[in-house]
Amino acid sequence: MKYSKYEIGPYNLHIIKTDKFKTINMHIDFRRKAIKGELTYRRLLSDILFESTAKYPSQRSLIIAKEDLYNQKISGGSRISGKTAFMSFSTQFLNEKYTEKGMLEKSITFFLETIFEPDFKDGNFRSDKLEIVKNKAVDSFKERDKNPSYYAYVKMLEAMDPNAYYSFVGSGYMDDLEKITPKSLTEYYKKVIHSDLIDVFIVGDVDNQVIKKMLTERIPVNTIKKQSDSLYIEHEKVRKRAKKVKENFDSKQSQLVMGAKISKLTDFEKNYVWYVYNYILGRGPDSKLFNTVREKHSLCYSISSQIKILSNILIIRAGINQENGEKTIKLIRKEINNIAKGLIEETEISNTITTFVNSFKEITNSPISIMEYYIARVYYNDDDIDMKIANVQKITKQMIVDFAKKIHVDTIFLLEGGG
């Protein structure tokens, strides 16, 4: 496996050459600093581009084209990561060694046409296609907001700070749909193409120079952009006393979501210690939260923790009965404090480290995990696999305790159901 990077002015090309797989995977990211009012535009763009293209003006024609290309797979979506809004497109297709000569060029051309040759009418996106993706968005927004777990999660982040990047909803907002027209979406599309940072990743057994030439001829972008600032969100202030918010919801189960800010992390903590801390606290099958809150005290149906390291926040989510809210909060706080006091078994640490070492070793077993690994290396300056294994094995109990002391519970959101 060999990694090569080419700076082609308007975009960066990253090729991970490996003959381990029969497929070739390609991924394109468009990224810019997140602006709340643009997120619905980005969501609709990632949808409408896969409805039709200039060459394939219907879903049926697109499906037939993919079948003719040996069932080529394409997908897209938008998301928020730290301060950055991403719009991503991916494809997977068979290497022409296993199909027929010329399929590499045909497959890449087809994929790029979905992004760079949209189905316009009179210079704008077609109104009928826009209506289709708007209706899909409305349905997904309604389903999303009916989900009590998701609703509580979003509301907790908004309660932490409605203006912070981490409170933005990457999939967009219902209120913004009406203002989007074929013309305004087209104008935003052109803005994205010419001003977003663009990275192209390819994993597979390819000739680097052939790929480079092929993309240079087919990606119609010529604007050179300045690289963005740090993706990490730093917290200047933390609450001395957590903010508590309650809301009622038509649901049998209540949802508790707690958010904590993490302050002043070292690079080693950002890259490694948080993995181990989070797994011990509430991510692993024998985590402290699971064993204490669910198994020992039977206070919740489910409980888990996650750390959004780019946003420097810890989030704990639990599905509970209404009467168990305060008890659950106290036990969660106790487990957080216990780790900060050093109440961790050495076996918990060693077992967790072994889990991550094994997961790092498995990265090369699939093209998707290889792709994700190199994307992390490019955007977040992640270490190579051998270095990751060596560094995670350096983590000590004291490092975890020091990390735990930087966690400050900020917001507690309780969505009360029917008990």
Q: What is the mean pLDDT of the chain?
A: 95
Q: Running DSSP on this structure, what letter comes out for residue 118? A: B
| E strands present in 193-299 | 197-204, 243-248, 254-262
Residue 359, pLDDT above cutoff 70 = yes
Question: Is this structure's pTM higher than 0.85?
Answer: yes
**Angstrom distances, CA of residue 131 to CA of 38, 124, 135, 182, 374:** 18, 13, 6, 9, 37
pLDDT over 70 for what percent of the chain?
98
Q: State the pLDDT at residue 227.
A: 66
Average pLDDT over residues 395-414: 98
Specify which residues 26 forms β-bridges with.
91, 202
151-165 pLDDT, tens digit per residue, is: 999 999 999 999 999
CA distance 199 to 207: 18
Identify the band that residue 325 occupies on the pLDDT scale cut at 50, 70 and 90.
Answer: very high
- If you ran DSSP here, which 8-state letter would residue 20 be given? S
Range 26-49 average pLDDT: 97
Taking every pair of Cα atoms in the chain, the longest distance, rounded to a whole number of angstroms, is: 67
Ranges 100-104, 138-142, 145-149, 219-223: which has the least confidence: 219-223
